Amino acid sequence: MSPRPKIALDKNTIMLAAAELANENGSEYVTLAMLAKKLNIKPPSLYNHFDGLPGIKRELAIYSLEKLYNSLAKEAQGKSQGDEAIMALSQAYLTFARKNPGLYDFALSAPDPADEFVHDAGRKIVGLVISAIQPFGLKEEEAIHAVRGLRSLMHGFTSLEQKGGFGMPLDLDESYQLAVEAFIKGLKK
Amino acid sequence: MSPRPKIALDKNTIMLAAAELANENGSEYVTLAMLAKKLNIKPPSLYNHFDGLPGIKRELAIYSLEKLYNSLAKEAQGKSQGDEAIMALSQAYLTFARKNPGLYDFALSAPDPADEFVHDAGRKIVGLVISAIQPFGLKEEEAIHAVRGLRSLMHGFTSLEQKGGFGMPLDLDESYQLAVEAFIKGLKK
DNA sequence: TTGCTAAAACTAATGTCATTAGTTAATATA
DNA sequence: TATATTAACTAATGACATTAGTTTTAGCAA
């Protein structure tokens, strides 16, 4: 194709291609070379849309966090706060990571974790969890500690599962559910 | 230096250099080029000792898991089983990851997670935790679920902390300790 | 002691990346 | 209709891993 084609690529198309690449082949397959090949352009052309590979990864992180947030919000919708909402959130979290293994990697490994946009995207998710644990009547600081624990549990399980870190032939869904239940139970006075 | 120097490098020296590189600069700095520069040799020379970069990473994973195991075992030593041992283990886990941020990365991201040696090294650590929760009188399957939860919590917190994923200015050590305590409490009948 | 083997370094070359600079053609705008 | 901008391109550079083939010397056997 010659310069300036009728229909130019837009950011969204590129994001989708990158996400597909990540999910189908693994996050390490998100390279300018691979992405360009998938889009039938040459690698340097990508610089017209993104600030190099770090730029793509950063936007992929934000994209991933937003998709994760949407999945969680949708699932929490309608559930009553407390145990029910927390179980729904944790289940949705795991489901998202399983359906989007490559994309999930980017959600938690932005080039610069202090990046404002990345941070904002993460904060929204924290808000969902904060809201879910309202009924426990925790003080503000206690609530933050609780959310940190819950996030650690969800991310840790997800991450270990994806790395194949669990060896025993014992149902993983049950392990996850029991772990979240135990944590919730321990949270209550 | 010319071919065949008086004192040749040995595997252990290379491992130490690689671990240092990882801890001081980050795991992504473990490249043949960097490692060779640090050791004052040329990159191809490393192939005399290791099976390429994947080989080094694999051995680094085993090395890291063994160091982690030693730290944990040492800390569990003398503690009575149950709450005390679990708190000691979880604290040692976090301490190890903080002291060895780069190396810790390799512990849980071996090129092939199904690798026999990597797996064995991980199994020893699971054994420590299994032993620590003995007093809870869990059935075998329950115990495995519990260990999975505990590992998820420890790895998740560690991982999120290292990525700078916790935004709020609230004591992290306290969050960790409270989370582990809550989980333990929830584990009990 | 001498000669051979194998180890551990080396140089040179290849291929894959990301990235930069500069070019071109077609769309969008004035 | 003329111009500016956009989005593609080619060409070149430098970092990296890796392979092939070479060289020197340490360690061992005859």
ipTM of this complex: 0.94
Q: Which pair of tokens denotes residue A96?
A: 């998202």
> Which pLDDT value is given to residue A3?
76
Q: Which are the contacts of B45, defined by CB distance < 8 A and separation ≥ 6?
A: B36
For residues B149 and B180, what is the distance between their CA atoms, to the nearest angstrom? 10
Ordered domains of chain A (ranges, CATH): 53-187 (1.10.357.10)
In chain A, whose CA is at the least distance from the CA of B171? A145
Each residue of A2-35: b (16+ CB within 10 Å) or e?
eeeeeeebeeeebbebbbebbbeeebebbebebb
Task: Give the predicted TM-score (pTM) of the model.
Answer: 0.94
pLDDT band at residue B168, thresholds of 50, 70 and 90?
A: confident
> Which chain A residues are Cβ-neighbours of B164 within 8 angstroms?
113-114
> Does B184 sit within 8 Å of A145, measured CB to CB?
no
Question: Which sign does the torsion angle of CA A22, A26, A29, A34 carry?
Answer: negative
Contact status, residue B33 vs residue B46, Cβ threshold 8 Å: no
Most confident range, picked from A3-7, A9-13, B182-186:
B182-186
Put simply, whether B104 touches A (Cβ < 8 Å) is no
Put simply, whether A154 touches B (Cβ < 8 Å) is yes
Cβ of residue B2 lies below 7 Å from strand D? yes
Q: Which residue is nearest to nucleotide C9 (CA to C1')?
A: B3
Residue with tokens 């969890």: A129
Q: Which pair of tokens denotes residue A60?
A: 């992929």
> Which pLDDT value is given to residue A116?
82
Contact status, residue B156 vs residue A152, Cβ threshold 8 Å: yes
> Which pLDDT value is given to residue B186?
97
> Which chain A residues are Cβ-neighbours of B186 within 8 angstroms?
181-187
Contact status, residue B90 vs residue B180, Cβ threshold 8 Å: yes
Residue A173 has pLDDT above 80, yes or no: yes
> Which pLDDT value is given to residue A144?
97
For residues B94 and B11, what is the distance between their CA atoms, to the nearest angstrom? 28
The one-letter amino acid at A132: A
Who has greater pLDDT, A179 or B118? A179
> Which pLDDT value is given to residue B121?
82
Residue B8 has pLDDT above 80, yes or no: no
Residue A78 main-chain phi, psi, to 5 deg: 85, -25
Half-sphere exposure of B129 (CA within 13 A, CB side): 27
pLDDT in tens, A101-131: 999 999 988 767 678 887 888 899 999 999 9
